[in-house]
Structure 1
Amino acid sequence: MNATNKEVLKLVESARDLFMRLGIRSVSMDDIARELGISKKTLYQTVANKEELIQLVLDHGMEEDVRTLEHNRTESTDAIEELLNNSRYFVRQMRKVSPTTMHDLRKYYPEIFHGKVEAHQHHFLRQVMENLQRGKAEGLYREDIDPEVIANLYVGMTMMVVDRGVFPALERPLSDILLQHSTYHFYGIVNEAGRHRLQEYLKEEELS
């Protein structure tokens, strides 16, 4: 790979924008080269093929998610504020995603999907579990919840949200479904003190 880090980042961000808006299968390497204003030959000096570019895009997205989740964890006052900020982040991210993007990735690039998406899922699972443990320790989440079980249920349902076989693409946006899912999760885990704290935060800024 002869390109500089800055050139690679520009390529990844341009490709990600096209994939998120239009889907993966419908975007060709010609489209990406045209978007960047370069020749396809120059593009192939940076990446060997479309599969490699998809992997770079997913890696970049995961790194961004990890940084955001860690920032929200360290900067939040409590577990509820952390989870609210994480939920807002993912709802807003999903507003940028074409309904066909996840479908294309799962159907036409299954090895990449299972390798990259499942790695992301495992990190997300650990983060959710730690948030549940934090909320219990802070006296804001119900004492009777099992963080491991609830975290697996939450992450499993999140994956179901992006399964367009369960929620057909034309019926409603992914972000709307994810918003409903997050609200359902919040009110299932908070205790009375947590409910009051949650409502105070929501008065300041809605979940969406």
Structure 2
Amino acid sequence: MDTKEKILQVADGQFHRYGIRSVSMDDIARELGMSKKTIYQYFKDKECLVRYVTESNIQQEIRDFNEVLEKSDNAIDELYKFSLCFRKNLNDINPSLLFDLQKFHPTSWQLWEDFKYSFIKDMVVDAIKRGKNEGVFRQSIDAEVLALYRIESIQLAFDPKIFPKEKFNLVDIQLELFDHFVYGLLTVEGHEIFDKLRNSTQNDK
């Protein structure tokens, strides 16, 4: 791993753990055991660093989601594995992360918004259409509407005004919202498949 990658990795970990606003360039330099001057050789300021971290996270999400598409057995399995991609690092994420990104780093926030309303939305729309073709999702549902609902519900869980971190666990919220979303899509056959998938996952744990 070269120096630039190390900086990105440490900055990403600090942002996820403490939020973006609470982490200074001094904090990152201290964690790395290097001077701020070295960091500024690769990133001209914190805004630039946040943008690179955001882009790196988006590219990793795309790789993860594409891997899911290749390995999912059906639409239910596909959505379930998509949700695992979102949840895999939630235990280490400070809920203020997205709020800080939106309020203090609008350029990076727009990168996330573009990714959310293009790649993620289209991915969920395609999964819902697949499920309708497979007979596991109800034919009457509107894929576009529910895809938008799904991506907004993911982001909703990060709002500390609605779900204060002193009272709610981020992973538990996402699990509850995901189950509510999927159960609203399912046919009788789909219910059976989803219940078996959830039970097998719980047994593996």
TM-score w.r.t. length of structure 2: 0.92
- Which residues of structure 2 form unaligned runs of 5+? none
Q: Aligned-pair RMSD on alpha carbons?
A: 1.7
**Given the alignment, which residue of 112, 116, 121 partners 2:116?**
121
Cα distance in 2, alignment partners of residues 169 and 202 from structure 1: 26
C-alpha deviation, 1:125, in angstroms = 0.8
Matched, 1:8 2:4: yes
Q: How does 1:143-182 map to 2 (within 5 A)?
A: 143-182=139-178
Cα distance in 1, alignment partners of residues 71 and 88 from structure 2: 19
Cα distance in 1, alignment partners of residues 65 and 167 from structure 2: 30
- Please list the CA deviations of residues 119-177 of structure 1 after superposition, one character each: whole Å capped at 9, or x if unmatched: 12112111110110111111111111111111112122222222222222322122211
Q: Are the aligned partners of 2:96 and 2:159 in contact in 1 as well (CA < 8 Å)?
A: no
Identity of paired residues, percent? 32
Cα distance in 2, alignment partners of residues 170 and 20 from structure 1: 17
The count of aligned residue pairs is 203
Cα distance in 2, alignment partners of residues 155 and 28 from structure 1: 30
Q: How does 1:84-163 map to 2 (within 5 A)?
A: 84-113=80-109, 115-122=110-117, 123-163=119-159
Q: Are the aligned partners of 2:90 and 2:171 in contact in 1 as well (CA < 8 Å)?
A: yes
Cα distance in 1, alignment partners of residues 124 and 158 from structure 2: 18
TM-score w.r.t. length of structure 1: 0.91
Which residue of structure 2 lines up, in the alignment, with residue 199 of structure 1?
Answer: 195
